Structure 1
């Protein structure tokens, strides 16, 4: 059993031995924060500053709390409480309930969905599971942010939320849900924090007993505290300041759930006498990984500069991070799988390797690629691609469509475009729409369906029989191959679900604009910076081997119009990029690097599509745009496909703004390749010239 000061570096020792009172430990990734927390508790107990039973340490996951308790036991500390916020609140509420309420404790709900479905009917919104899950997320965010049902619509504007249904409808569901819950004497997990806070704030005897019991508080991952958790913490403290907080503003990635680093950033201001210690010695990662992590976060704004940490690698030197630019996502996944196979063959355990992506829908390519090289894998925080509810529903719809068409082996669908159109049409009833829907769950479902459409295009380019029936058979074969027995394997996970974990080798994939940062973050500087921190978290998960890659096109043969994430600008070696002399690269440079009006640089795909920077005014021809939309509707009806299969709204807007005069100018617009030029080019150019009567007559 070691002593509380054994094996500490100078900064950790300073944090452990800081005087009793407010202490703020700014602890970077891999700097030993859990070690520091537990050794501080052990030191305070050994020195007689506090009894073990008077310590309450809180963190955010049961795994982290369990690790803390285990380390405290090894340090000889018995009786200190280490729990999640919710577990601590549940324990306290059960104890004080008879005194505060005076009857049997209310039942704790396992989930909100059943009650939300009941109230959704009453207020007139969809009871679709995806919509309800997103409404539940909004209610959870509101309660975590101390926002009542009546204040929700105004908060949506203030915080730039993207609700799945109109804000007044969410507010109505929220209010009805709370009323129904109370009438049935039920509590949800958020109520544990709310009711415990109220019990302490409103009942003096309860507050006095609690504060006499607990004298010393420790909060881990303080950058992730929500306003509700902060209020509960203030109730626990009751004006006292025997508080140690540990956090890293660089790792704030849960703002969508109400988390805020403000408490961490404001701690020295709130407690001017606080001891502030910075832990920047990184014991997890090689200096090469640490250097890249610092470079990624250095690009952030200066708002949090005083709390920003600059890591210093303590491990021996390792391999340089690898960067890779690929023609398409399939090629990217194939290269990742090949490198993983090499690492495993070289002695790296499969369980020490992770592939991390921004959204769960990206997993399918990696599931397939790893299967092909005989590498076992585990999907963390989500189901395997073909096990997802929306994918199973899509497979059923495709089987039915194939049966209706009388297909199976022989009827040609017309190549890549034809098969994509058939698949798109079949998936429209199960949720595929022209534009991505609002709400996180619905958007993930939509992304998975789009992935199936892209797979259809890929299949058609390599198959000698590109029929719908043959494509369904291909999907079923893939699904069968991707259900091996559960074994120890490579971890496939989203960046959010990787927080708090680490591996010897980490592959960060899909690092292209529109995915990292995610497209819907572009309207807010704060959202963009959170995306940067998410990438930083991904980089700092790697101990030794780090791979960062992106694809220029979604599918093989697709238009190579994507660009590397802005967060990697200036960090990517030239040799990592696609050959500079290739025709597609030259075309991409001409299309996306200069504004056609002011000749200045353009910085995102939307600007590239319009051919101008955001500073220059739009000169879109509204009459032409109206003619294009009318034409698209007619063509989509003739082809029996959704309108976006012909051209998306963004592509039509770019045509109406750029007004191409010939084929070469038309294909320079993103979204128009050789196939669409052949099928629709003559019509579009005629419309641009004002020959709408000829187009609609033919």
Structure 2
């Protein structure tokens, strides 16, 4: 029997349809990776296609590696010749060869979002481009959005007209691009845009790659932006053997520039396209699939499909309602602990998903109390760590002396007595003599006097010595030499002393450096021809999801965006309330921007379909939102699930005064919104998710450097983390390793029936019961409304849990000075009358521009 006979009917059709444009609509868990792998194997083994002529674009390096391995097992040869990479890796490989056509050298540096922000911040300050209405973040986002849409700095400048704000952004964009080229650097957005420009302006280069890539496959096509769409269109334009795989129902990156129309309009762009639907699911039970199907069918902008499985109905979806967010967190921890003790689940096959990072703290605290080991997504990316960025800056300077940002970072690390005044003089000399920053250092004696000249001379000689050694040393030897020559160990010691003096738990810097050395060794072992440029490229493009340890016996906590592409036996989907998920901002904008709600619903669909065997969804009717406790209704996404699919036996109601706490959810708290709505943030590799720990490893809720290849660092949390304030523990985790043991059967200073918020007790089953109305201790607006309504003799206020009522009128107007409990004093710039509330734009003196809703903001006129 042929290996292709093991595929189902639609999968086999997708594999055998090799010619012309093909759209494979692959539902969640439908075996698309298997289809892609077999399709590549079929092209090589049965169709006689040279592996050299096949390109496959994936969204993670891990996926690319797995595809090569699977093809190799099937065919036995050729996998190493297939071009299987991410979008950004593809563009880097092309640009390394032809960068000179665009005015760059081939050892250009790739700037992450922090690097880009630093360069842009200097430009904005130098040209005084920030105003009360225009902040750095908006400028950076606008530039990123321009690049997503292939709008160059010159084009944007021409289109700015007499618009004062656009003119300032145009100036920043122009100077930013000039600075990048001077530093021989590209940001993540440049990688795509510059490759498209290269193809458009160099017909010979385009034809070369068109001839090479006769068969092109693109995974996760629903996540592509306009620049990526154009890149693929150009490459496939000659042979048109383009196969795109994706699921419009899982398009959740609109805020980063992803254009769902790319997949929805594929047949319009390619009228002769073959469309194949993969609807048989090999992951989840039918009840879970039915829940997902009934939720997503409420979207209008989608291609009709319904997931099904022959693996049985399985358990119903558990839906648990709680009065308070801490109670919800306690239930999740208790449920996982009990099932683990009974042998009903494995930590490594369990995940807790939520809409925003702010929701994780309560869950983490409960996990610490119950002794549940876990990893968390959120915090500071490994490569964004101070000591790591310092060492990488040395390597970048050795590799590319034109990178002013890198040179400036290390010129006084460790301290050499080279101050800001000296750096400004170097920059001025470089600008006057049309040379880069590093080259100007060699001429220091022409514009600097005294001992500083000797210090700069020594620095210059050191870098030149490293460059000479690089030609003779392995990369491992080189990084060890940098550490030794610069006395980096003493520098780390001083940083750790500062950490301890500041009471920081985050001082495992030596271990982090060892982890970086390990990554250097790993790169050299795997690369065919390891180079310093290649390693720095890997570092820039690596995906966080690639770093997740397989079988790591820990529960994974993450946002729904981070969960994309993953699957777990047991999934807890927390925070299903109106105002949390979907967000209040999305709800208020529903009339003017219905696509925002559709994206939220797709996110719910993604969350539901992560579960293989058991799905538990939960909500809390009271949660801290924007600094105060609010009453919240059950999410519409829960209401959209038929009652026959739900098991409500896990709900409980407790007195609200027992629970106070939880991180507040702000308007812009990881909802991926901005003052400039849906403007993508600067990032590299499409998106960067980061696995963090209490020390702070994260991926900043998907910055662009985040997104493209889904890149992040990985850290472990456990029962020994700094979050265990209740247990009064002070042990900490270091590097990528955890020194905490699995204490699943041990509860740390935790007595059943108690919590750091007060008595908890065992959850009581209240099937179908709705929580009684309670007056919050903190008496936010909604509580006051309830009590005043009752005191007026009108009885209890029905429906009060549905959220704050829209104010009948505001006591302030545009131009008034107002104060906010968190952001301080500012000026009201704009008031918009929405269907459910007034949307107020305020320019705060210190916090910048914020968009809030009147009922929540509680602004006071001054």
Q: TM-score, normalised by structure 2?
A: 0.54
Residue deviations 1:255-304 (CA, integer Å, cap 9, x gap): 11111121211222222322211000010011111111111101212x32
Pair 1:491 & 2:556 matched: yes
SS of corresponding position for 2:570: strand
1:82 to 69, 81, 84: 84
- Aligned pairs (5 A) from 1:454-473: none
Contact 1:360 1:382 in 2 (8 A): no
The within-5 A match list for 1:271-286 is 271-286=270-285
Matched residue, 1:291: 290
Distance in structure 1 (CA, Å) of the matches to 2:202 and 2:855: 64
1:311 aligned onto 2:311: no
Match of 2:368 in 1: 371
* Deviation for aligned residue 1:187: 1.8
Partner of 1:329: 325
What is residue 44 of structure 1 aligned with on the other side? Answer: 43
| 1:544 match: secondary structure | strand
Q: Please identify runs of 4+ aligned residues in structure 1 that moved more than 6 A.
A: 150-156, 476-480, 585-588, 601-607, 629-633, 640-644, 669-672
**CA–CA separation in structure 1 for the residues paired with 2:139 and 2:341:** 46
Q: Would you say the 8 A contact 1:506–1:541 is kept in 2? A: yes
SS where residue 178 of structure 1 aligns? helix
Matched, 1:145 2:341: no
**C-alpha distance after superposition, 1:83-123 (max 9, x if no partner):** 00111111112223356759655333343133122112124
SS in 1 for 2:6: coil
- 1:609 partnered with 2:805: yes
Report whether the alignment pairs 1:505 with 2:502: no
Alignment of 1:215-614 (within 5 A): 215-301=214-300, 303-304=301-302, 307-347=303-343, 348-382=345-379, 488-522=553-587, 523=589, 524-554=593-623, 561-571=631-641, 575=648, 580=769, 583-584=772-773, 608-610=804-806
Looking at structure 2, the residues matched to 149 and 603 of structure 1 have their Cα atoms a distance apart, in angstroms, of 52
Shift of 1:13: 0.5
Tell me the distance in 2 between the aligned counterparts of 1:492 and 1:300.
Answer: 28
How many angstroms apart in 2 are the aligned matches of 1:106 and 1:478?
36
1:314–1:119: structure 2 CA closer, same or farther, 3 Å change rule? farther
Deviation at residue 308 of structure 1 after TM alignment = 3.1
Closer/same/farther in 2, CA of residues 540 and 152 from structure 1, 3 Å limit: farther
**TM-superposition CA deviations, 1:234-271 (whole Å, max 9, x none):** 22123431111111000000011111121211222222
Give per-residue Cα distances to partners, 1:616-669, cap 9 Å, x unaligned: xxxx356xx369x99997xx99xx99699xxxx99xxx999xxxxxxxxxxxx9
Does the C-alpha gap of structure 1 residues 326 and 237 become closer, same or farther in structure 2, counting only changes over 3 Å? same
SS in 1 for 2:319: strand
Q: Per the alignment, in what secondary structure is the counterpart of residue 281 of structure 1?
A: coil
Contact 1:123 1:169 in 2 (8 A): no
Q: Tell me if the contact between 2:285 and 2:613 (Cα under 8 Å) persists in the aligned partners.
A: yes
Find the aligned partners of 1:670 and 1:281 in 2 and give their Cα distance. Answer: 46
Structure with the largest fraction of helix: 1
1:3–1:75 Cα contact (<8 Å) kept? no
For the aligned residue pairs, the C-alpha RMSD in angstroms reads: 4.5
- Cα drift, residue 361 of structure 1: 1.4
SS at structure 2 position matched to 1:491 = strand
Equivalent residue runs for 1:654-673 within 5 Å: none
Structure 2 residue ranges without an equivalent (≥5): 387-502, 513-548, 654-765, 776-781, 790-796, 839-853
Of 95, 110, 116, which aligns to 1:112?
Answer: 116
Contact (CA 8 Å) 1:4, 1:42: kept in 2 or not? Answer: no
* 1:214, distance to aligned residue in structure 2 (A): 1.7
Q: Which runs of 5+ in 1 are unaligned?
A: 157-164, 390-475, 595-600, 612-619, 657-668, 677-683, 685-695
Change beyond 3 A, Cα 1:517–1:155:
farther
Q: Which residue of 2 aligns with 1:441?
A: none
Show the counterpart of 2:486: none
- 1:155 is displaced (CA, Å) by 10
- 2-side partners of 1:602 and 1:210: how far apart? 66
Query: In structure 2, do the counterparts of structure 1 residues 350 and 261 end up closer, same or farther at CA, with 3 Å as the change threshold?
Result: same
**2:99 matched residue in structure 1:** 97
Cα distance per residue 1:43-66 (max 9 Å; x no partner): 122222521110001022222222
Cα separation, partners in 2 of 1:46 and 1:105, compared to 1, 3 Å? same
Q: Distance in 1 between matches of 2:624 and 2:16?
A: 57
